[in-house]
Every structure is written in C-alpha cells, then in structure tokens.
Amino acid sequence: MALEPLEAIAGGALLLAAPGLAWCRALFPEWRLRGELAYLRAVETATMGVLLSLSLTVLVGYGLTFSSAAPFPAGWSDPILETILAAITGGGLVVAALRGGFAREPPRAPEPEPAPGSDSPEPLLRDLARLQREVRRTQHALRVGAKAPNETARLEERLRELRGEMDELRVRREEAIRG
C-alpha cells in the first residue's frame, strides 16, 4: 500500500507536530515567537511540540493496542489513530483559543511564587543592624547625656520604640520563613 505524498505529509504532521504544537499553545498562551526571546521560544516550542506529539501518539497507540480483544492490527496511517490524534489537536486548539493563545495581545505570564524562606535575609539583617546601632546610641545618650527628666523620658520612650520595631521585624521574618 503506497501512500500519496500529500497523505504522507498530513499523516506525518499529525503524528509528529500538530497535537504537541496545539497543546504547547494551550499550555503557554503567553509565549510569542517575536521580540527579544523569539529564538528561545521558537526552539522551546518546536522541541516541546515534537516531544509532546510523539508522547501522545505513543500513548494513543498503546491505548488502542489494549482497548480491544485483538492486538491493534493497523499501522501509523490507521483512520482510528488519525481521528483520535485529530481530536486531541482540536481539543488543544480550543483550549488555546479559550486561554488567549491566539489573541493579538498575549495574556500575562503567571508570576512564579517564591519558595518559603527563599528570599534574601539581607534587607532584614541591615534593618536589624541599623536598629541595634540606634539602640546603643540611645542607651549611651541615657547614660551620659540626659540630665533633664523630660529628656530622659523621651530617650526611654525612643528606646522602647526601637525595641518594638526590632521585635516586629523578627516576627515578620519568622512568619515569612514558615510560609
């Protein structure tokens, strides 16, 4: 049984590219093949499309092999296999259209969530060090310089405020680490 050239091209596209490319567009509607990341996105899309198409083809073939009492007797150009792959491709295109994969303006990419505790502790440590310096300065001013009672009361109040800020920073950091 010889395949016509057009039939071979359509079957090859259905087996090797169409389902994967449709589902790539459905899974990543924000990817566009233009702009500064065009080359990278083209390589990613082509690679993922071919691998996904091959995976889907193997899974469908495996399912067809064990779906009937007799083994799957047909080849790669079997109408059942082509129909199922065409349905998978159509489903991917519908999902892609619903998610905005074919819109003129791409949807915004989702922001990745940082892992709990993965943010840098440097800003917190800088703030704590600054507050500790202020506490030491205020304590020194209380020991040597505060002669008037209203000045002593003001410095003691400032010391309580600084210690409260330090405790608040520590609590916020612990909550961020816990997630």
Other C-beta atoms lying within 10 Å of the C-beta of residue 89: 21
Count of all residues that appear for the chain in the document: 179
In a structure prediction context, what are the per-residue pLDDT tens digits for the chain, which is 179 residues long? 566 888 778 878 888 889 999 999 999 888 888 878 888 888 999 999 999 999 998 888 888 777 765 565 656 667 788 888 899 999 999 999 999 888 888 788 777 776 665 667 777 778 888 889 998 988 888 888 767 777 888 888 888 999 898 888 888 878 777 76
Angle of CA points 152, 156, 157, to nearest 5°: 115
Contact between residue 31 and residue 44 where contact means Cβ atoms under 8 Å apart: yes
Residue 111's CB: how many other CB atoms inside 10 A? 6
12-32 b/e (C-beta count within 10 Å ≥ 16 → b): eebbebbbbbbbbbbebbebe
pTM exceeds 0.75? no
Task: Please say whether the dihedral angle defined by the alpha carbons of residues 35, 38, 41 and 46, taken in this order, is positive or negative.
Answer: positive
* Torsion sign over Cα 112, 117, 122, 124: positive
